[in-house]
Structures are given as C-alpha cells and as structure tokens.
A and B are shown apart, each in its own frame.
Chain A
Amino acid sequence: MSAMTSASTEVSEIDSSARGPISLLLAFALVWLVVSGALALLHFAQTLNPAFLADCAWLTYGRLRGLQETAFVYGWAGNAGVAIAVWLLGRLGGAALRSLNWLTVGALFWNLGVLLGLIGIARGDGSSTPFLRVPEYVQLLLLVAYAAMAIPGILAWTGRGRAQTFAAQWYAVAALFLFPWFFAAAQIVLVHFPVRGVVQAIGAVWYAQSLWNLWLASLALAAAYYLVPKLTGRVLPGYDFAAYGFWTLILVGGWIGGRHLVGGPVPAWVATIGIVSCQVLVFHYLIVAINLRGAFTGRGSTALSLVAYGVAAYLLGGLVDAVVSLRAIAVTTQFTWVTQAQTALALYGAFSLIAFGVIYFLVPRIANQPWPSAPLVRAHYAAALLGTGGLVLGLAVAGVIQGWGLLEAGLSFADIAARTRPWILVAAAGQAVLLAGNLVFLFHFARLLVKKPAVTAAELLRQPPTMEASVS
C-alpha cells in the first residue's frame, strides 16, 4: 500500500469532490466548441460562395461571424477556462473546493445565457461590436452567472492552506476576478450609457483586448504555469521573474487595443499608445518563454506536447502583434484576414491547445479513470495541430494577398476574392479538420463519463503517469 500513499497527492479528495461540476462545465465547453466549429465552417462556405444560405435571414454573413465567435469565446473558452481555473486553484489551495453549488448553478445560467445570446444574434437582436455581440438582455445574466461560477475559485484562493502562492494561482485569480470587472465596464460605456461617437470604437477595442489578455490568455497561462513543472518534473527556470511577467501583462494588457485604430478617426495617440504597449508586452512574452521553456524539451505525454504547442502559439502571437501593429505594416494588413489569422492564432492556437492539454491531464484525475482509448487521443491531437496550423496559415497568407490587393486601387473586390480563394480554402480545410478532431474529443469525453472504470482505482493510483494518455 505504500504506492497508494505516494500517489495520494495525485488522485485525492480534492479532485474527486469536484468531479460533478467540473465535468458539467467541460461537457458544456466541448459541445459549444463543436457548435462553433460547425458555424465557422458555414462562415467559410459563405466566404467562398456568397450565395450559400444567403436567403436565410438568421445566418447572414455578419451574423454567422458573430455566432461562431460568441459560441467559441463564451461557450467553449468561458466554460473550459473557468473549469480549469477553479480546479487548479483547488489543487494549489491544498483543500477540497468549497461552495461548488455556486459553480453548478452559475454554469447552468451561464450556458443558458450563451444559448439565448446565440438565438438573439441570429434573430438580429445582437450588435456588431466584436466579442460583445450578445444582445443587451443576456449581458447581465452572463455577468451574474460568471460571478457565481468564480466564487469557488476565489474561496479556494483566499482560504488556501499555505501563505506562499504560485504563478498559476495569480493568473487564474486575475482571470476570475477581472473578467466581471471589464465586462461590466464595457456594458456600461457601450450599451447602457453609450459614450459619444468614436469613443465607442475605442471602448470596443479596449474590451476585446482585455478579453484576450486579462481573461483568456491569463487562463491559458495559469494552466501552462501549473502543468509544465508538473509534467516535466522540474522547477521552472527563472521563476523569480514570473511576477514581473505577470504584472506586465496585467498592467499593459488593456492598453494595446488602440493599435487596431491606426489611421482611423481617433486621436493619433490612441493608436500610438497601443503600438508602444505592444512592444512593451514583448517583455512579458520573453519572461513566459524563459519560464516555460522546459515544455519544449520535455518529452512524454500528449498533455505536455499540446501545452508546448499552445505556449509556442502564444509567444508567436505576441511577436506577430508587435510587428503587425507598426504603422508601416498595419497600412497593408489592417482590415484584412491577417487580423483574423492573429485572432485564430490566439484563440485556436494558444488558448485551445493549452486547454486541450490540461483537459487531458485533469479529467482522468477528477473522474478517477484513464481515457478509454489512446487512438482517439492521438486522432484528436493530430487534428488539433494540423487544423490549427492550416487555419492560421491559410488566413495569414490570404490576408497578405488581400492587403496587397487593397492597395492596388484598380483591383475590384471580386478579383481580390478570387486571388485569396486558394488560401481561404486552406483555412476552411483547417477548420474542417479541427471540427472533426473536436467531434472525436467530445465523443471520447462522453465515453469516459458514461463508461464504468475498467481499471480499478488502486491500479490507477500506482501508475499515475498512465492517466495522462501517453501516446508518444
């Protein structure tokens, strides 16, 4: 029984007590991920053939874009991110999670809100503000539901067993605490008491940027900072600097939205501060790269490999932001698919890949049984990498071609569309592969939940690494 005591930190009361709520959140997350993938594929079909479903008022090109984005960000990323953050705060807090009923109830209302939001956008009640497209009538519901979901996470932080804290906790708490803050602030200045004129556009980019840096990126980093040392079995190099990296992101993250308004009808300083902040943030990416470099050399599990690719996408995205924000380059890439390639690199590359890695790690621990099938893990792993790569590459090349085309004043939009078409096809193929992979993932997850454990718990405890679905 000595194996059992040594493994008791690996599968413990902390994990099994959270099984229900965390599984619920992850199930919702994966369903929304598949829904958003299907919507994104329809969106590409319309890009390639504008007449496709054009007679369906619920699925105009603009509404489909809003639908897939909302399903992805609030459905998949919101649910998965909160599940991961709460779980790791519980583990690092060293005690079983408390008030988990809040998480369950909050999750039900949050997902009701997402569903109503999607219906509202399809009906035409939404708005065109990127990342804040849900109708006014669900915004408050989402805000309150999120606050409820965050309670167990915050309680695990304030009631933690040890005084010392870890970088993973900082990022997780920041994401849980700050999202309601700027979500509420954005609702006030954009919806309830709209500011005048182009200040709305500035508020909208501030919100979109905060959503990424202070929420989704923070959630992804929390997961990476937790998993990398755990899976490599080594202390993070340069960990003393992690706090500087954290505070740089928190302080500067909200400022860089203005880079999207280069050349726009706003004071030049708005764009300039955005560009400068983008360069300052390179310091943050540098520290993350130093801290998490073990992920790239470590070998072993699928989970670690997914996290490594996710961290690489995160770092690459930061450097691309810093370059593309410069005016000399933005003049070409602004208003093109390049912007969407950057979004895809962040959301599909950085956030999703890291989240996949953590889910492969945490689900066997909370469910107390291993993933049923290694081939399914391998299939999803390959599809996630291949699909994300195709999507980002296709969009980026299409964007550059589109940007050059836009600069040629004589070239019509139909001609530009014809030139970018092959690369949009690449991106659409990537999206299709991603969708197929995510369907596999959803099926696999469902099978794990309904299946009776084939391996006894004691056997599992003796070999914790088998639960990480090592396939490499």
Chain B
Amino acid sequence: MRNGFLFFIGLFCAAALSWAGVVLWPHLQMGSLVPYVDETEGKAYPLRLSGIAAQGQMVYDDLGCAACHTQQVRRPGFGSDKERGWGERQTVARDYIYETHVQLGDSRLGPDLANVGGRKTPYDAEDLYKLLYAGSGAMPAYKFLFEQRSIADRQPSDYALALRGNLAPAPGTEVVPTMRARALVTYLLSLNHTFEYPEARPVEPTAENEGEAK
C-alpha cells in the first residue's frame, strides 16, 4: 500500500467491478426485455399503466406503502405465497418492464399486492376505499386521503363512500375520496400479473427438481 496512486486505482476498480457485475450485467440481460405478444388475444403483455394509475403509483411510492407491502410473488412451494392467494405463479422480470419505479418491497406486515386486481376473489374499488378510509386491525386508516364535505347545497358525489354504522359521516355530509385516493385505488386495481408468460410457468416442486429449481 506504499503506492498511493495504485491504492486509489484498486479502490476504484473494486467498486466498478461490483457495479458492473451487479447492476450493469442484469441491465444487459434484462434491460431490453420486450412485451410478450399473445397472438390468440392480439394483445401485448404486460399492459401499460393508464395515466391515472401511473399517478397512483407515485402516491404509493411517496406514502411509503412498501414499508409493509411487497409486490412480488414467490414461486409455489417457496413460501406460502400461492396458498395465501397472492398469485398462481411467481412474478417474473417481464411483469415490471413498464413500471417507472419498481416497488418490490422488503417487508410483509401486510399482504402482497402484486395481484390486487387479478385475484380469484378480486377486490373492487369500494373495498379498497373502505380499507383506506377505516383501516383494519393491522393497517392504519388514511383519512387524509378523503374529504368530508357538506351536501347541503350540491349534488352528492358519484364517488361518495357508502359507509354504515359508526363509520357513517354526520347527516348532511359525505365522504369523498380525493384525487390521490382515486389514483391510488386505480393503480392498485391495475396490478394484475396473471398472464402466463412462457418463463413464468410454475415449476411444481418434486423430489428431483427441488434442488435446481429457481
């Protein structure tokens, strides 16, 4: 280490090597993934996000939803993702090519959201609004995404929540999701990674392939 210049070159090359290997190499491998065209349906998958869903993704990002929710389904047999109804197949790289900011997440204090819009028993917008407005046992309420306003001198909003019981707003008022809430719910309902890409066919775990399966 007597030669200072060589020391800096070594440091630089070591960091550059890991950058090339960990970031650049996957980029070369997957950076130009193209959508898969399904000839029978005449559509290319994955579908692009609509404008409002893309805004919803930004809301998801800035509220920090990824602190509790992942958006990645592991393959059947590796964890209980399939049994929990989060998806029939593992998510693959192609599912994410149109996402401007990928939110794989690293913590599951709540359910995985990769297939909110494509489950066997799908949520509808009303469920998601109610969940966001009232919260649940383990999830906080996001009341600031809603506006409570008087309906004394105007038509009730088409988007007003149908709330009953102790959640019902005071008489003469209604609870309306803000633009941010609507964008967020649209985004969540657009999350649907159910199309069967060739590379996404689940490998059923058997005694022989357990070791080598991905």
Contact = CB atoms under 8 A, between A and B. Distances in A.
Interface of A: 46-47, 50-51, 54-57, 60-66, 124-128, 130, 157-158, 163-165, 170, 173-174, 177-178, 181-182, 185, 189, 194-203, 206, 210, 214, 243, 247, 250-255, 257-258, 260-261, 263-268, 270, 273, 331-332, 334-336, 339-340, 402, 406-409, 412-414, 416-417
A63 B64 contact: yes
Given A62-B65, A174-B11, A54 B135 contact: yes
Contacts of A268: 214
Given A62-B68, A195-B23, A413-B110, A265 B140 contact: no
Interface in B17-56: 17-19, 21-23, 26-27, 29-33
Nearest to B30: A199
Nearest to A46: B140
B213 to A, nearest CB: 9
B194 interface: no
Given A62-B63, A124-B63, A413-B137, A198 B80 contact: no
Contact of A414 (B12, B19, B137): B137
A457 B148 CA distance: 67
B107 A335 contact: yes
A50 to B, nearest CB: 4
A71 to B, nearest CB: 15
Nearest to A334: B79
B2 A127 contact: no
B208 interface: no
B21 A255 contact: yes
Given A189-B23, A197-B30, A251-B14, A165 B2 contact: yes
Contact of B26 (A55, A65, A164, A266): A266
B108 A336 contact: yes
A251 to B, nearest CB: 5
B67 interface: yes
22 contacts: A63-B64, A65-B67, A127-B61, A128-B67, A128-B101, A165-B1, A173-B7, A194-B100, A196-B30, A197-B30, A197-B33, A201-B102, A203-B23, A250-B15, A251-B14, A254-B22, A255-B22, A263-B90, A265-B96, A331-B78, A413-B110, A417-B109
Nearest to A272: B214
Nearest to B80: A409
A255 B25 CA distance: 12
A267 B25 CA distance: 11
Given A165-B2, A196-B30, A65 B22 contact: no
Given A57-B144, A65-B67, A251-B14, A270 B97 contact: no
A267 to B, nearest CB: 7
Nearest to B145: A57
B211 to A, nearest CB: 10
B22 A202 contact: yes
A216 to B, nearest CB: 15
Most buried by B among A124, A163, A257: A124
Given A198-B96, A417-B138, A164 B15 contact: no
Interface stretch (B69-77, B118-126, B156-164, B184-192): B69-77
B26 to A, nearest CB: 5
Contacts of A417: 109, 137-138
Contacts of B11: 173-174, 177-178, 250
Interface residues of B, number: 73
Contacts of B65: 62, 128
Given A250-B10, A335-B70, 15 more contacts: A55-B141, A55-B143, A65-B67, A127-B62, A178-B11, A189-B27, A196-B30, A197-B98, A203-B22, A203-B23, A250-B11, A251-B17, A335-B108, A409-B83, A413-B139
B107 A126 contact: no
B23 A206 contact: yes
Contact of B64 (A51, A54, A61, A198): A61
Contacts of A200: 101-102
Contacts of B23: 185, 189, 195, 199, 202-203, 206
B22 A258 contact: yes
B88 interface: no
B107 to A, nearest CB: 6
Nearest to B64: A62
Contact of A195 (B27, B61, B110): B27
A430 to B, nearest CB: 19
Contacts of B95: 265
Contacts of B143: 54-55
Contacts of B33: 196-197
A60 B142 contact: yes
A253 B17 CA distance: 11
Given A62-B63, A163-B2, A206-B22, A267 B108 contact: no
A128 B108 contact: no
A62 B67 CA distance: 5
A120 B198 CA distance: 42
Nearest to A67: B64
A156 B92 CA distance: 49
Given A250-B14, A253-B18, A409-B84, A61 B140 contact: yes
A252 B14 CA distance: 8
Most buried by B among A57, A198, A214, A251: A198
Contact of B101 (A181, A194, A260, A407): A194
Most buried by A among B4, B17, B29, B32: B4
B147 interface: no
A239 to B, nearest CB: 13
Contacts of B109: 47, 413, 417
6 residue pairs, one from A and one from B, having the closest CB atoms: A62-B64, A254-B18, A414-B137, A409-B83, A62-B67, A124-B62
A268 B137 CA distance: 36
Nearest to A159: B4
